[in-house]
Chains A and B, each alone.
Chain A
Amino acid sequence: ETGVTQTPRHLVMGMTNKKSLKCEQHLGHNAMYWYKQSAKKPLELMFVYSLEERVENNSVPSRFSPECPNSSHLFLHLHTLQPEDSALYLCASSQDRWTGTSGGTYNEQFFGPGTRLTVL
């Protein structure tokens, strides 16, 4: 157990469905992340939230919509997905310290077990 939980663990959805992935961290961290892991591709960073504010949006299609209501919870809302969106979606958290716009102490990330998403 890493202190980061994700639900559901498996999800099968049609292209017209709307679903949400949930992540919760019990570590008191101040940053949370969504990653996508597709077969035979490096882990791709999708979104970063620091202190509940989105600080990174890695050119992700608008059919993926993140939400961070507080520092412990992170959601990824999905709608009108494509079959190529099938992948393992991983959530992570970390405790970082920022010293300005261009510096800080960045620490290890703790990952959840992932949600295996299949889009039919």
Chain B
Amino acid sequence: SQQGEEDPQALSIQEGENATMNCSYKTSINNLQWYRQNSGRGLVHLILIRSNEREKHSGRLRVTLDTSKKSSSLLITASRAADTASYFCATVMEYGNKLVFGAGTILRVKS
């Protein structure tokens, strides 16, 4: 079964609002990564957070990691129409270089 599961499955917001997506996983991890995919295209890496880190920022993106709850969140602030995409969390388990993806959250930002 998949390691990471995102919540919600779909999210629709107005431009300028913040978008929050959550990810839960089952086993101990080496790191957790967030990716974006525009329709039918390749994935683009957004942020990697390691198991000993709690929060990371990149531009308008903020990722938190709570290893005690086995969960992570991705916050996109001041969203733009161009942020419309699918967002995936993926985990690398504690031992191994295998990246396991969740089903993703479809984000739609309306202008």
Contact = CB atoms under 8 A, between A and B. Distances in A.
Interface in A43-71: 43, 45, 48, 50, 55-56
Contacts of B101: 42-43
Nearest to A100: B95
A81 interface: no
Contacts of B41: 113-114
Given A106-B30, A106-B31, A111 B44 contact: yes
Contact of B102 (A42, A96, A102): A42
B30 to A, nearest CB: 6
Nearest to A31: B97
Contacts of B100: 45
A42 B101 CA distance: 6
Contacts, number: 62
A100 to B, nearest CB: 9
B43 A90 contact: yes
Contacts of A104: 30, 97
A2 B40 contact: no
Q: Main SS of the interface on chain A? A: strand
A106 B45 contact: no
Contacts of A45: 98-100
A30 to B, nearest CB: 10
B11 interface: no
Contact of B40 (A41, A48, A88): A88
Contacts of B33: 108-109
Contacts of A50: 97
15 contacts: A6-B42, A33-B99, A42-B101, A42-B102, A43-B43, A43-B88, A96-B97, A104-B30, A106-B92, A107-B48, A108-B48, A109-B99, A111-B45, A113-B42, A116-B40
